[in-house]
Amino acid sequence: MQITTWRYFQFRKQHDYPVYLRFIHDELNPKFSHLLHELGFNELSEQESKKIPLSRSHTKLLAVQFASARLNQQLNGSDSLDKYGHESLSIKGSMPIYTYRKVGIMALPANKSLWDLALHSEISQADQMIGFRIILVRFLSQALAEQGVLSYWGTFRDGSVTVMKQLQSFGEAVFIDWNKKVIFSNGGEVKFNTHLKLLRKDKAYTNSYSMSREELISFLSVSTCLLSFNGITNSMKRAILEMSSNITANYSLSEDSHNL
């Protein structure tokens, strides 16, 4: 009987977040490795992987494997479901199940450290890789929620967080840890003091103007990448309230408005 060997990865290892992925050694292709690097996952040595604190509060370990033939059929689904979008969140036996059509299905058992993700066995196309990125962002958003880490679809450039719709961002996301005063994005990590700049680019606006604190709190609360039946956590609410007093937020001027 062949022994399964795993490769383990930790999210932003230097910051000690207890959030991990593991892949069967032979199922980790170069495309996956590049994506994990962009998202900030650091590979662990064999000795480090043996020290993963599964009993530690907030620890989440996602085991990623290729789906069985039955799950592949379920992931392919019906084309008629496209009108509802690629993603869905359902309940099966009291356990939340997240599905991204033709890409993967993830089990999110409450109060457990070990989660599972079954990937479509033929994942290779560009749109499927974007889907895989979105799944991992959803996982991170859920795994970090109790620690108050906020996540939004968008980018961090020139000292500003630009928040977009998921479709606009191609699955790229920004993670803000207000307690540690650090922002994570595809470009790496950036430390900040107590003030942030935010640009809202999720809609087309004909004028650029500042958001009120009330507008900002509402927007930050409903726009996170967290997909959960319970909504955002109390830790996230506290972070949003503190951020709203220390952030300059503006509606972005639509590129098309110059032609109006």
Residue 76 — very low, low, confident or very high, per pLDDT cuts 50/70/90?
confident
**pLDDT over 70 (residue 255):** no
- The strand pairing partners of 115, in sequence order, are 62
Q: For the packed helices 126-143 and 30-39, what is the interaxial angle rounded to 10 degrees?
A: 40
Residue 205: its pLDDT value, please?
A: 65
Q: From 185, 117, 115, select the one nearest 150 (Cα to Cα).
A: 185
Residue 253 — very low, low, confident or very high, per pLDDT cuts 50/70/90?
low
Q: What percent of the chain has pLDDT over 70?
A: 92
**pLDDT over 70 (residue 204):** no
Q: Could you report the per-residue pLDDT of 131-190, keeping only the tens digit for each?
A: 999 999 999 999 999 999 999 999 998 889 999 999 999 999 999 999 999 999 998 999
Residue 66: its pLDDT value, please?
A: 93
Does the reported pTM lie above 0.85?
yes
Q: Could you report the per-residue pLDDT of 96-137, keeping only the tens digit for each?
A: 999 999 999 999 998 899 999 999 988 888 999 999 999 999
Rounded to whole angstroms, how far apart are CA atoms 143 and 18?
Answer: 9
Residue 257: its pLDDT value, please?
A: 39
Q: Are strands 60-66 and 87-92 parallel, antiparallel or unpaired?
A: unpaired
Domain ranges of the chain: 6-143, 147-259
> What mean pLDDT comes out for the span 87-98?
92
Q: DSSP state, 144?
A: T
CB 62 within 8 A of CB 116: yes
Q: From 40, 46, 50, 47, select the one nearest 17 (Cα to Cα).
A: 40
Residue 256: its pLDDT value, please?
A: 45
For tokens 């640009």, name the residue: 199
Residue 84: its pLDDT value, please?
A: 58
